Amino acid sequence: MNKKSKYPFEKSENTWKDELSPKEYKVLRDKGTESPFTGIFNDHYEKGTYLCKGCGTALFHSKSKFDSHCGWPSYDQSIEGTLEMIPDHSGGMIRTEIVCANCGGHQGHLFNDGPTKTGLRYCVNSASINFIKKPD
C-alpha cells in the first residue's frame, strides 16, 4: 500500500486489521508476499473475475490468467485503470509494484517476462484477491 497516496476507498488501519486476516493484512497493507505455491489461486483456472480483497474492485479476468510456474497467480493483463504501477527498488531489485488504484492494496509485482503477446506477467498474491465465478 502506497501510504503517501490517497485513494478513493479508504479505511483506518485499525479497520483493515479487524477485517483482514493477519496474512491478508501483511500482504495488502504492509507489502508482504506469501510463500510460492501456497496461495489458493495459484492453480485456479475457473472462468470469472479476480477482485481486490481490500475493496472488491475487479482487477483481472480469468482469460488473462496463465501458468507462469513461478508459484503465484499470474496474468498477462489487468482490467484497464484498476491498478497503479509504482517503481520498487526494495530488496536490491528494480521492479514495478502493482497496487489497487481504488484502495492502494498491494497486489504484487509486474514483470516484462510474460510468455504471451503482451509480454507482461502480473505476479499476484492469492492473499490479496478474491474470485467471483462467471455464471454458466
Name the catalytic one among 55, 100, 103, 123: 123
Cell numbers at residue 5, please? 497516496
Name, in order, each residue with C-beta under 8 angstroms of 6's C-beta and a sequence gap of 6 or more: none
Query: Is 123 a known active-site residue?
Result: yes
In whole angstroms, how far apart are CA 45 and each of 74, 89, 96? 11, 32, 25
Q: Among 77, 40, 61, 81, which Cα is nearest to 132's? A: 61
> Do 91 and 60 meet the contact criterion of CB atoms below 8 Å apart?
no
Distance CA 50, CA 119 (A): 20
> What residues are annotated to the active site?
123
